[in-house]
Amino acid sequence: MSGHDHHDHHHDHDHSELSETQLRVRALETVLTEKGYVDPAALDVLIETYEKKVGPRNGARVVAKAWADPAYRERLLKNGTPAIAEVGYAGRQGEHIVAVENTPKRHNMVVCTLCSCYPWPVLGLPPVWYKAAPYRARAVNDPRGVLADFGVALPQDTEIRVWDSTAELRYLVIPMRPAGTEGWSEEKLAELVTRDSMIGTGLAKSPADLK
């Protein structure tokens, strides 16, 4: 898709059913590409990267490795960014990553009340609900209510730690390793790790869920 596709036909669209926002994006794109501020081919690479290549499977590999390899788990909890880079993930919106681990006594949940900060290299781009008002408003003052929206109920005495990403630090939750997975390979363990379990709004799948 080149940024020039639409230009010559722009006025045809004035009477089409394209929404105001679609038209606005098209206008901005045309101005930016034709003035040389943006390379249309770079847009395609960016879209391809975040739509197809970067996503929560990356984070699942990190978590599975932490479950399977105690020395790696220790490195990850001590200094998240280099440990995650060991598995091959780094960069934009993940320049400074902290991993926080769930235990029977403590559950971690991540939010960005101010907007949408999220660890892109390991989770990809955030889902709509993460960026939307209901989650941003309630995660900090009613995390148990939010967990209930996701069908998750934790014991009343489980400490809930909410991390509001107000700076350039990004958080990755290490969910608890499900029972009955002793001796599993990292590849198989990674299948149990959901995106939501790494945000803290879900738990890892159980072996039965894979059947």
Partner 1 sequence: MNGAADMGGMHGFGPVEPEPNEPVFHADWEKKAFALNIAIGCAGIWNLDAFRFERESISPPEYLNRSYYGLWVVTLERMMLKYGVATPEEIAAGRPLAPPKKTPRPVTADQVATMIRHGSPYDRPAPSPALFKVGDRVRTKNNHPTTHTRLPRYARGRVGEVVRIVGCHVFPDSHSQNIGEDPHWLYTVRFDGRELWGEDADPSVRVAIEAWEPYLEPL
Site size toward partner 1 (CB under 8 A) is 83
Residue of the chain from 75, 162, 188, 205 that contacts partner 1 (CB under 8 A): 162
Residue 184 beta carbon to partner 1: minimum distance, rounded to whole angstroms: 25
CB atoms within 10 A of CB 47: 11
Task: Report d(CA 32, CA 95) in Å as an integer.
Answer: 28
Which residues in 71-90 contact partner 1 (CB under 8 A)?
90
Of 79, 171, 49, 54, the closest CA to residue 117 belongs to 171
Answer yes or no: 112 catalytic.
yes
Residue 185 beta carbon to partner 1: minimum distance, rounded to whole angstroms: 26
Whole-angstrom distance between the N-terminal and C-terminal Cα of the chain? Answer: 40
Of 67, 70, 87, 88, the closest CA to residue 181 belongs to 67
Answer yes or no: 115 catalytic.
yes
Which residues in 21-60 contact partner 1 (CB under 8 A)?
21-32, 34-39, 41-47, 49-51, 55
Q: Which of 112, 165, 185, 206 is catalytic?
A: 112
Window of 65-73, 156-164, 177-185, 203-211 that interacts with partner 1 by CB under 8 A: 156-164
C-alpha distance from residue 46 to each of 51, 125, 127 (Å): 8, 12, 18
Catalytic positions are 112, 115-117
